[in-house]
Amino acid sequence: MYSLSVRQDQADGCELLEELRRYYLDTMGIQVWDELHPEPVSVAEPQQTAVAVEIPVQEKALQDKPTENKSQSDVSSAGWPELQALVQQCDQCGLQATRTQAIFGVGNQNARLLIVTEAPNQEEDVQAVPFVGETGELFTAMLKAIELQREEVYISNIIKCHAPENRHPLPAEIKNCQPYLRRQIELLQPKVIYAVGRVVAQTLLNSQDSISQLRERQHSFDGIPLIASFHPAYLLHKPSEKRKAWHDLLQVKRLLAE
């Protein structure tokens, strides 16, 4: 195997390019047609400094691929504590750089009702709880209207990290988080899923229909009844839609009672 060992004092442009060419050809198993040395190339002495060679991005991605597969395998077999640890450690999409913490989910892990909401906003990011402030107050009141307490349901986000400036999550960010949410659904096995907000409903139903269109009928996610509805934050800005949201909640209540 050709040894890549270049002394700093020899690393002018031409020599370094030739050295790199030989190294990559040899790594690929391609014979270098040159005069063969009778003796093996000696390893650089300790006091000699080797030139650092940066691995191209494409090669690094290939090297990292087994690790990503292993992570996906870990997610699909994880229990609640292991899954939460994986979410807290996740750095797949870059949002870990802007979040305060990952929002794993809260509530009863044996709940019959799973509520999936949109990306955490800035206040939720700080408190590590979905639905806080005025939105949280309205959400709690909506649950009480169908005789449920927050402690009786489980709440999860479509993505686990706060997006900068409270923007909608990007498709790649949603895709990276989907295995976590799917595993939560597998562990929870809820009787009903209540999807609030356009992004959530479109993602879970793989649809481009508007939330107004999606909320007009009952859906199914992996055999689990799913009701789509407006996000409580939207209802605060447009109170006239609360009547429609109440109709959606009655559907949830009916399904839970069946």
Residues 113 and 133 in one domain: yes
Cα 115 to Cα 191: distance, rounded to the nearest angstrom: 11
Residues 153 and 201 in one domain: yes
Residues 20 and 143 in one domain: no
How would residue 71 be classed by pLDDT, with cut points 50, 70 and 90? low
- pLDDT value, residue 19: 54
- pLDDT value, residue 37: 44
Distances (CA, A) of 201 to 173, 197, 211, 215, 227: 16, 6, 7, 9, 9
Produce one character per residue of 25-59: b if its CB has 16 or more CB atoms within 10 Å, e if not: eeeeeeeeeeeeeeeeeeeeeeeeeeeeeeeeeee
- pLDDT value, residue 18: 57
How many domains, in total, are found in the chain? 2
Q: Do residues 180 and 160 lie in contact, with contact meaning Cβ atoms separated by under 8 Å?
A: yes
pLDDT digits (tens, 9 = 90+) for 231-252: 999 999 999 999 999 999 999 9
Residues 39 and 108 in one domain: no
pLDDT digits (tens, 9 = 90+) for 20-37: 455 444 544 444 444 444
| Complete edge-to-edge strand list for the sheet that includes strand 113-117 | 106-107, 154-157, 113-117, 192-196, 224-229, 219-221
CATH number at residue 236: 3.40.470.10
pLDDT digits (tens, 9 = 90+) for 37-56: 444 444 444 444 434 444 34
Residues 94 and 210 in one domain: yes
How would residue 98 be classed by pLDDT, with cut points 50, 70 and 90? confident
pLDDT digits (tens, 9 = 90+) for 215-226: 989 999 999 999
Using a pLDDT cut of 90, give the percent of the chain over it.
66
**What range does the domain containing 162 cover?**
57-257
